[in-house]
Structure 1
Amino acid sequence: MTDQETSPAVKSSKKGLVIGIITLLAIVIAAIAGYFAYTNITQQTAINAKELEQFGYQMVASSRSFESTGELGEKQLPSTFDEGKIPPTQKVIRGLLNDKDTLIQNNEALQQEIESLKARIADLEEYKQLNEHFAPNRLADELNEVERRVKAFLIRSSDAERFSTLQIEIMAAASAAEYKAYITRNRLMLSADQKQQVISDYLPAYAFCVGDGVDIAANSPQEERLLATYFRTDDGSILPQALAQDLSSVVAPCQLAIRTRLDNNSTDTSQG
Structure 2
Amino acid sequence: MAAKKIIVLTLVVPIVLGVLGVGGYYGYNALMKQEANNNKDLEKFGLAVLPQSTTAPSVADEKERQAIYQQSTGVLGTTQEVATFADEKLSPTQKVIRGLMSDKEVLLEEKKKLNEDIDTLKARIAELEEYKRLNQHFAPDKISEELAKVKARLKKHLLNSTSAARFNNRQIEIISGASAVEYDKFIRRNRMILSDFQREELVSIYLPEFAFCLGDGVDIAANSASEERKLVRFFEERDITLLTTALKRDLDTVLTPCQEALHEQLAKYTPGTP
TM-score by length of 2: 0.70
Corresponding residue for residue 17 of structure 1: none
Does residue 62 (structure 1) correspond to residue 73 (structure 2)? The answer is: no
Corresponding residue for residue 195 of structure 2: 191
Could you tell me whether the CA contact under 8 Å between 2:71 and 2:79 is conserved in 1?
A: no
3-state secondary structure, aligned to 1:162: coil
Change (3 A) 1:76 1:256: farther
Corresponding residue for residue 201 of structure 1: 205
Q: Looking at CA atoms only, which structure, 1 or 2, has the larger radius of gyration?
A: 1
Letter in 1 for 2:117: E
Rounded to whole Å, the distance in 2 between the matches of 1:77 and 1:225 is 85
Change (3 A) 1:260 1:99: same
Rounded to whole Å, the distance in 1 between the matches of 2:222 and 2:81 is 86
Letter in 2 for 1:133: H
Change (3 A) 1:75 1:209: farther
Rounded to whole Å, the distance in 2 between the matches of 1:184 and 1:75 is 54
User: What is the aligned counterpart of 1:152 among 137, 152, 156?
Assistant: 156
Corresponding residue for residue 237 of structure 1: 241
Pairwise CA distance, 1:78: 6.5
3-state secondary structure, aligned to 1:62: coil
Could you tell me whether the CA contact under 8 Å between 1:146 and 1:199 is conserved in 2?
A: yes
Could you tell me whether the CA contact under 8 Å between 2:218 and 2:254 is conserved in 1?
A: yes
- Aligned-residue Cα RMSD (Å) equals 2.5
User: What is the aligned counterpart of 1:84 among 83, 88, 91?
Assistant: 88
Pairwise CA distance, 1:76: 5.1
3-state secondary structure, aligned to 2:157: helix
Identical-pair percentage: 45
Gaps in structure 2 of 5+ consecutive residues: 1-10, 16-67
Pairwise CA distance, 1:142: 0.5
Question: More relative contact order in 1 or in 2 (CA 8 Å, sep 6+)?
Answer: 2
Rounded to whole Å, the distance in 1 between the matches of 2:94 and 2:82 is 10
Change (3 A) 1:179 1:78: farther
Pairwise CA distance, 1:265: 1.7
Could you tell me whether the CA contact under 8 Å between 1:171 and 1:207 is conserved in 2?
A: yes
Letter in 2 for 1:142: E
Does residue 247 (structure 1) correspond to residue 251 (structure 2)? The answer is: yes
Corresponding residue for residue 141 of structure 2: 137
Pairwise CA distance, 1:192: 1.7
Change (3 A) 1:163 1:100: same
TM-score by length of 1: 0.71
Pairwise CA distance, 1:89: 2.1
Change (3 A) 1:171 1:183: same
Does residue 257 (structure 1) correspond to residue 261 (structure 2)? The answer is: yes
3-state secondary structure, aligned to 1:190: coil
Pairwise CA distance, 1:194: 1.5
Rounded to whole Å, the distance in 1 between the matches of 2:75 and 2:79 is 6
Count residues with an aligned counterpart.
Answer: 209
Change (3 A) 1:88 1:137: same
Change (3 A) 1:158 1:61: farther
Letter in 1 for 2:155: K
3-state secondary structure, aligned to 1:108: helix
Rounded to whole Å, the distance in 1 between the matches of 2:206 and 2:125 is 35
Rounded to whole Å, the distance in 1 between the matches of 2:255 and 2:194 is 25
Does residue 101 (structure 1) correspond to residue 97 (structure 2)? The answer is: no
Change (3 A) 1:69 1:224: same
Give per-residue Cα distances to partners, 1:14-42, cap 9 Å, x unaligned.
xxxxxxxx9xxx9xxxxxxxxxxxxxxxx
Pairwise CA distance, 1:88: 2.6
3-state secondary structure, aligned to 2:223: coil
Rounded to whole Å, the distance in 2 between the matches of 1:212 and 1:140 is 27
Give per-residue Cα distances to partners, 1:135-154, cap 9 Å, x unaligned.
11111111000000000000
Rounded to whole Å, the distance in 2 between the matches of 1:101 and 1:78 is 15
> More deviation in 84-93 or 177-186?
84-93
Rounded to whole Å, the distance in 1 between the matches of 2:208 and 2:87 is 84
Could you tell me whether the CA contact under 8 Å between 1:227 and 1:239 is conserved in 2?
A: yes
Could you tell me whether the CA contact under 8 Å between 2:171 and 2:218 is conserved in 1?
A: yes
Does residue 163 (structure 1) correspond to residue 170 (structure 2)? The answer is: no
Gaps in structure 1 of 5+ consecutive residues: 1-21, 27-59
